[in-house]
């Protein structure tokens, strides 16, 4: 019983010492292990977050170009390359039309060949005054008509071959089948949508931002992008230079990294609302927010820290402007600061790097 009570007393003493802020207990366990970074001079600007959506630059609903029955369609999730077949239409009728057109071309070619030979024979006889000029002229006229009919037959064959070609719906770009819009056996008419094809590797972010920000961004500027799961940066690809007079918004498009984002994701863009200015900034993770105000722990030469009260200003991405007893190059704690107090000794296990 005495040993158990003694342990309770020792535990209560530890709690009391920690509440009163005494460092002796912490010192028994050695220096606190922390991660640090540096205060730096940065160009920051006030910003506003606007919603955006990740979309593919190549997102197509492929349609039928003929009236025919659907006989095959690719499964959802199938990866295809440009030119691959994604659906087939019944082609019996179009094969027959192609055969008919080929026969017509052959017939007209035979007629042209005969008339060319006949015209050559009559020209030879005419040179010997053995044929009538009217007969020669008639044959020349018939040959011209035959050649025209041959070209018309070739055009009809071309149409028949095109019809045969488009009985197979082909991918116009590399992508993934994301939706089947028709089922096998359905009879399609011209322009009926069959499948949806999306390229997941050509992504962009589409957002609508307030007109108040349009003067502070340019093509090529890199903006901070985030959502509840990840953060990143994206360069501005284009700015649509027309604002909506009702909503006072304009459209902006940014190139997105396929390895980081997915088609359909909702994101937030940090848009500047004023010109950038040079300020003293620290990582947001360095801030300690308490009821008495904000502070950071600055590393001293003795591998210890001093608590510095600060006032925060502009924020941009992972950085935030601070005012206080700090200077560019000062080392601040960004991990492990929660249990520190003014004057505590530390062990820097890892310094943050860019």
CATH (domain of 150): 1.10.287
Residue 152 has pLDDT above 60, yes or no: yes
Last residue of a domain, one of 239, 272, 305: 272
Average pLDDT score over the chain: 86
The more confidently predicted of residues 315 and 75 is: 75
pLDDT tens for each residue of 204-255: 999 998 888 888 888 999 888 999 888 899 999 999 877 777 778 889 999 9
176 and 120 belong to one structural domain: no
Residue 31 has pLDDT above 80, yes or no: yes
pLDDT tens for each residue of 156-169: 999 999 999 999 99
Q: How confident is the model at residue 351 (pLDDT cuts 50, 70, 90)?
A: low
258 and 313 belong to one structural domain: no
Percent helix, percent strand, percent coil in the chain, to nearest 5: 30, 40, 30
Last residue of a domain, one of 151, 183, 200: 200
Give me the domain span that covers residue 31.
24-45+277-351
Closest by CA position to 194, among listed 88, 278, 117: 88
The confidence score (pLDDT) of residue 20 equals 42
Please report whether residue 3 resides in a domain: no
Q: How confident is the model at residue 9 (pLDDT cuts 50, 70, 90)?
A: very low
224 and 283 belong to one structural domain: no
How many domains are contained in the chain?
4
Residue 6 has pLDDT above 60, yes or no: no
Please report whether residue 144 resides in a domain: yes
Residue 342 has pLDDT above 90, yes or no: no
39 and 132 belong to one structural domain: no
Residue 16 has pLDDT above 60, yes or no: no
Render the burial of 32-44: b for 16+ CB within 10 Å, e for the rest. Answer: bebebbbbeebeb
Strand partners, 72: 88
105 and 65 belong to one structural domain: no
Specify burial of residue 268 (Cβ count, 10 A radius: 0-12, 13-18, 19+).
middle
234 and 287 belong to one structural domain: no
Considering only 101-115, 164-178, 194-208, 220-234, which range has the smallest mean pLDDT?
220-234
Residue 334 has pLDDT above 60, yes or no: yes
Residue 318 has pLDDT above 90, yes or no: no
The more confidently predicted of residues 301 and 98 is: 98
106 and 156 belong to one structural domain: yes
CATH (domain of 173): 2.40.50.100
Top-ranked range on mean pLDDT: pick from 141-145, 210-214, 335-339: 141-145
CATH (domain of 237): 2.40.30.170
Q: How far apart are alpha carbons 150 and 112 in whole angstroms? A: 8
The confidence score (pLDDT) of residue 28 equals 52
Please report whether residue 69 resides in a domain: yes
The confidence score (pLDDT) of residue 353 equals 58
215 and 316 belong to one structural domain: no
247 and 300 belong to one structural domain: no
Residue 15 has pLDDT above 50, yes or no: no
The confidence score (pLDDT) of residue 72 equals 97
Contact 296/231 with Cβ under 8 angstroms?
Answer: no
194 and 244 belong to one structural domain: no
Render the burial of 199-230: b for 16+ CB within 10 Å, e for the rest. Answer: bbebbbbebbbeeebbebbeeeeebbbbeeee
Rounded to two decimals, the pTM is 0.67
Last residue of a domain, one of 227, 248, 272: 272
Please report whether residue 12 resides in a domain: no
Handedness of CA 42, 45, 48, 52 (dihedral sign): negative
Please report whether residue 2 resides in a domain: no
The more confidently predicted of residues 142 and 347 is: 142
């Amino acid at each position: 019983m005495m040993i158990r009570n003694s342990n309770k007393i020792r535990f209560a003493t530890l709690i009391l010492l920690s509440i009163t802020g005494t460092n002796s207990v912490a010192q028994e366990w050695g220096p606190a292990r922390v991660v640090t970074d540096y205060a730096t001079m940065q160009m920051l600007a006030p910003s506003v977050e606007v919603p955006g959506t990740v979309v593919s630059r190549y997102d197509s609903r492929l349609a039928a170009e003929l009236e025919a029955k659907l006989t095959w369609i690719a499964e959802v999730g199938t990866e295809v390359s440009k030119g691959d077949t994604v659906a087939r239409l019944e082609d019996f009728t179009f094969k027959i039309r192609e055969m008919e057109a080929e026969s017509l071309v052959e017939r007209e070619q035979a007629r042209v060949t005969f008339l060319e030979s006949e015209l050559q024979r009559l020209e030879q006889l005419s040179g010997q005054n053995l044929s009538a000029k009217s007969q020669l002229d008639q044959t020349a006229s018939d040959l011209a008509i035959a050649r025209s009919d041959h070209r018309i037959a070739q055009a009809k064959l071309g149409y028949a071959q095109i019809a045969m070609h488009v009985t197979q719906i082909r991918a116009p770009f590399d992508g993934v089948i994301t939706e089947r819009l028709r089922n096998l056996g359905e009879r399609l008419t011209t322009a009926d949508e069959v499948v949806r094809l999306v390229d997941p590797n050509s992504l962009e972010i589409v957002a609508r931002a307030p007109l108040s920000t349009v003067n502070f961004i340019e093509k090529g500027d890199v903006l901070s992008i985030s959502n509840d799961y990840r953060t990143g940066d994206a360069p501005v690809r284009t700015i649509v230079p027309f604002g909506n007079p009702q909503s006072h918004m304009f459209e902006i498009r940014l190139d997105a990294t396929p390895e980081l984002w997915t088609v359909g994701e909702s994101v937030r863009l940090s848009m500047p609302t004023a010109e950038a200015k040079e300020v003293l900034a620290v990582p947001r993770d360095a801030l300690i927010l308490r009821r008495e105000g904000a502070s950071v722990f600055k590393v001293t030469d003795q591998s210890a820290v001093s608590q510095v009260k600060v006032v925060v200003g502009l924020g941009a991405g992972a950085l935030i402007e601070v005012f206080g007893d700090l200077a560019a190059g000062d080392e601040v704690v960004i991990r492990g600061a929660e249990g520190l107090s003014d004057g505590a000794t530390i062990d820097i296990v890892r310094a943050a790097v860019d």
